Structures are given as C-alpha cells and as structure tokens.
Copies of this chain bind each other. A is one copy, B any other.
C-alpha cells in the first residue's frame, strides 16, 4: 500500500506525487536539464505503483515542466507551454468569441507593453532593438517577442507568449509586413512619445 494518502484519499494520489516531486526537485536543487530518478526508482522511493508515478509525470509533462525521452529518462525543463496549448487549442479554439477575445487581448498586452517599455526601458536597449530591426528581415511575431522581452517582466512575457500562440493557432491570416512601420514605432518609443506610439501601433501595424 502506498505511503502517502492512506485509505480514503483526500486528494488524488497523483497530485500528491506531484507535490512530492516538487519538494524533491526543490531540496535537491535540480534545475533545467537535470535528470530526475527513473519511474521505477520513484515508485520504490515513494512506495506507490509505477502507474501512479506515470500519471503524475503526465501531468507535469503536460505543463511542460518535464520532458521524457524513451530509453534515456525524464528531465527537468524550463517552464513553457507546449502540449497544453495544443490540447486547449484542439478543444476550444473553435469558438468565434474566443477568437475575438484572443485578438483583443493580444492587442491590449502589446499596447501595454509599448507603454511600459517607453516609460522604463533604457535608451541603450531601445537603440539595440532598433539596430536589430534595421539590420534584417523579421516577422511580426519576432518583433513583438523582442519587444515584450524588453520590459523585464517574465510573467508578462509568458502571458503574451501563450496568448500569442493561441492567437496564431486561431487566426492564420498573415499580414504583409511593412518594415518601415515597425521601425517608426521604435523611433517613437525612443522619443518617449506614448500617445503617438500607440496610435501608430493601432493604425499602421494592426491596421485599425
């Protein structure tokens, strides 16, 4: 019988295992790329069946917290979306209202981001951004990935990334890129001109 969670389970066993794994990762100081014990070893150490271990690992895998490689093992990995996106996508991305909300939200996040960058990014970063944009071709995605990266808020970055990948999955329309508009946006940001930057973004980049 399993050690955690005797008799009538208050929470599902696999969720407790997830918690135990978290502690294990924490106390052992495991970081991205490290290997975690094999399923069989975990099964022994926690005194639970291997199938329960696997259910917990599936949950973590789904969240993108671990990666399993057959024949090799299971590895910690940087938190990223992944399967979750795909799953939710195949399930509920057909709702048109959801699509509209996605586009809207993406836009809000991006204007918000422009505001923040304007009011707090150092000149130097913006110049570097400008150099990058001037020197090469890029996609809308790449541009805003860079931009979102400029405000050093990891959470915000993640939210945008997720919303963006949803939005991309829901809407396959490609905008013809007008590089000069993007460059102009950067210039407006360097001039710290919030209002013009935002209206430029809305009019010339999102074509509203």
Judge whether A108 is part of the interface by a CB distance below 8 angstroms: yes
Smallest Cβ distance from A103 to chain B, in angstroms? 10
CA distance A63 to B89 in the complex (A): 12
Residues of B contacting A153 with CB < 8 Å?
A: 101, 104-105
This protein's copies in its complex: 2
- 9 closest Cβ pairs, A-B complex: A101-B155, A55-B58, A101-B153, A105-B155, A59-B62, A105-B156, A112-B112, A51-B51, A58-B58
Known: A51-B54, A101-B155. 19 other contacts (CB 8 A): A14-B58, A22-B90, A51-B51, A54-B55, A55-B58, A59-B83, A59-B87, A63-B87, A63-B91, A79-B88, A79-B92, A97-B154, A101-B153, A101-B156, A102-B155, A104-B155, A105-B153, A108-B116, A112-B112
Pull 10 A–B residue pairs with CB atoms less than 8 Å apart, ordered by A: A18-B90, A19-B90, A58-B59, A59-B59, A62-B63, A63-B87, A65-B91, A97-B154, A98-B154, A104-B156
